[in-house]
Structure 1
Amino acid sequence: MAERPTTSWREGIAHEAEQLAGGTLDPGCPCMAALYPEELLVATDAVLDVFEVELAGLSEASDAQVLAVVERVVLALNAVDGTHSGYETDEREELCGYIDEALTESGIDVAALTARHGLGRYQLTDTWRNW
């Protein structure tokens, strides 16, 4: 399964904590924990949990069914971002990449899907995305 962005965000937090504990990072420099508070991580993972469940059996789904799953995950992530103001440019790109990769691993030809709807491959989430 595609690696969730929250996994790398948590790894970054842990790495900074190790550097701080080891004295190799200036105490004024850590930013990962501030960028990714636990509430944001938990809320994002909860949305991605639902998305991953919805991916099961999607390879035989119609375009409308696939797009409905994408819409739900994006709207749920909009709500998380609205509450936690947590998705900056890098995080947005990681989340979009994760959605694309997870769909692809589930048997969806994302390039063909988006082309059938007059979109570029990387515009899949744009219709609903606020973050």
Structure 2
Amino acid sequence: MTERPTTSWRHGIAEEAEELAAGTLDPECACMAELFPEALLTATDEVLDTFEGELPGVDEASDEKVLAVVERVVLALNAVNEAQGGAAFETDEREELCDYIDESLTEHGVDVVALTARHGLGRYQLTDKWRKW
């Protein structure tokens, strides 16, 4: 399965902590732990757990059911973002989350290109209708 964005964010935090401990990173340049507090990571993982739980069998689902899965994950991520003051997911994080949703659906047999085309959307507009982050 495609790697969750939270996995790479946690890796970045750990790497930065190692560099700080080794003295190879100026503390004023350290930002990962501030950008990705544990509450954000945990809440995001909970949303992605639920999303992943809905993926088995999605390849046989109607467009409406697939889009409902996407809507639920996006709305849940909206709530996570809002709980973090509306600035939890910046540009890079938004792209990572959107790619994760797309790749996860694809890995479970959904032709995202065809799905979006059937609904008059561009390939990368799958989450746009509901996304606030």
TM-score category of the 2 structures, normalised to the smaller one: over 0.9
Deviation of 1:112 (Å): 0.1
1:51 alignment partner AA: F
Structure 1 portions without partners, runs of 5+: none
Distance 1:78 1:20 in 2: 32
Q: Does residue 1:88 correspond to 2:90, yes or no?
A: yes
Distance 1:123 1:101 in 2: 14
Deviation of 1:104 (Å): 0.1
Deviation of 1:28 (Å): 1.2
Divergent runs of 4+, >3 A:
none
Distance 1:68 1:13 in 2: 33
Distance 2:120 2:11 in 1: 37
Secondary structure of 2:73's partner? Answer: helix
Distance 1:40 1:86 in 2: 7
> 1:45: which partner in 2?
45
Distance 1:51 1:27 in 2: 36
Distance 1:26 1:109 in 2: 45
> 1:36: which partner in 2?
36
Q: Deviations over 1:88-111 (max 9, x none)?
A: 000000000000000000000000
> 1:79: which partner in 2?
79
Q: Does residue 1:62 correspond to 2:62, yes or no?
A: yes
TM-score between the two structures when normalised by the length of structure 2: 0.98
Distance 1:2 1:51 in 2: 13
Secondary structure of 2:28's partner? Answer: coil
Distance 2:27 2:2 in 1: 33
1:7 alignment partner AA: T
Distance 2:40 2:129 in 1: 23
Deviation of 1:29 (Å): 1.0
2:35 alignment partner AA: L
Aligned partner (choices 110, 123, 128) of residue 130 of structure 2: 128
TM-score between the two structures when normalised by the length of structure 1: 0.99
